[in-house]
Amino acid sequence: FSRCFIEENRYMMLIDGIGVTVKVSLVAVVIGILIGFLIAMCNMSSNKILKTIGTIYTDVIRGTPSVTQLMIIYFVVFASVRWPKWIIAAIAFGINSGAYVSEIVRAGIQSIDKGQTEAGRSLGLNARQTLMGIVVPQAIKNIFPALCNEFIVLIKETAIVGYVGLMDIQKAGDFIKSSTFLAFMPLIGTAVIYYVLIKLLTLALKRVENTLRKSDVR
Ligand code: ARG
């Protein structure tokens, strides 16, 4: 313990790793939600081409491991692009998350009673106005808990960014483990940091959810 903590203070690397994990996760969740909404719209559209695009996207992304996707995006797609590593990683995770978010959004929108759409349409709103003004605002409440889940999964999923040379929490823990020949403290430390990060996020999101539910009288 003292070998790594007092003499070298390598544990600071874990703290630096938090920055990478948080940056990648935050940007990825935004990209994921944007892609998710777009793909959900494609999947629910009556246009055959859009529907096919949506189906292929969801199938391919959910059908292949996220590590493989991350490596393909980093080493193949963005091979000649000189962007910061973490941005490319965030794009990869956003693309991955989008497929899962699209199903969350689709299920949420389809959970809203058809009568809501009919009411909107008979008030003279067009299909788009009905969807955006009446169905989506109600669906958000149903979608929110599943989106929070997705955010948590995403944060933990970024623990694979070491595969493309990023020093996140996981990679820092692994590095300290190899350089000190100690396993217990670095790895438990890694786990505790992820746990605290996700606990704080859960508490914050719970507050948002309660605010969203305020208008419900049940
Ligand atoms: N690790 C799994 C994979 O390779 C799970 C990914 C889950 N991702 C998510 N955003 N829900 O695909």
What single string gives the DSSP state of each residue in 193-210? Answer: HHHHHHHHHHHHHHHHHH
The Cα 192–Cα 173 span in angstroms is 11
- Percentage above 90 pLDDT, the chain: 79
**Is the pLDDT confidence value at 217 over 80?**
no
| CA 61 – ligand 1 centroid, Å | 9
| CA 67 – ligand 1 centroid, Å | 9
User: Structure tokens of 170?
Assistant: 């996981």
Give per-residue pLDDT as tens, 8-56: 677 888 989 999 999 999 999 999 999 999 999 999 999 999 999 999 9
Mean pLDDT for 153-170 is 96
**Is the pLDDT confidence value at 81 over 80?**
yes
| CA 148 – ligand 1 centroid, Å | 15
Residues 6+ apart with CB under 8 A from 92: 28, 66, 69, 70, 73, 74
The Cα 211–Cα 202 span in angstroms is 14
**Is the pLDDT confidence value at 7 over 50?**
no
Mean pLDDT for 62-71 is 98
The Cα 60–Cα 28 span in angstroms is 18
**Is the pLDDT confidence value at 85 over 90?**
yes
- CA distances to 6, 148, 172 from 67, in Å: 35, 22, 18
- Residues composing the chain: 218
> To which residue do tokens 């106005």 refer?
129
User: Structure tokens of 101?
Assistant: 């978010």
- One-letter identity of residue 211: T
User: Structure tokens of 187?
Assistant: 């790895």
Ligand 1 closest atom vs CA 66: 4
Ligand 1 closest atom vs CA 96: 10
Nearest CA to ligand 1 atom 7: 153
Give per-residue pLDDT as tens, 97-106: 999 999 999 9
CA dihedral 14, 19, 20, 25 (to 10 degrees): 120
For 159, half-sphere exposure in the C-beta direction (CA atoms, 13 angstrom radius) is 15
CB atoms within 10 A of CB 122: 9
Q: What is the pTM of this model?
A: 0.90
Ligand 1 closest atom vs CA 65: 4
Give per-residue pLDDT as tens, 111-139: 998 899 999 999 999 988 998 899 988 89
Whether the CB-CB separation of 59 and 196 falls below 8 Å is answered with no
The ipTM assigned to this model is: 0.92
- One-letter identity of residue 113: D
User: Structure tokens of 157?
Assistant: 């999923």
- One-letter identity of residue 68: T
| CA 62 – ligand 1 centroid, Å | 8
pLDDT at 5: 52
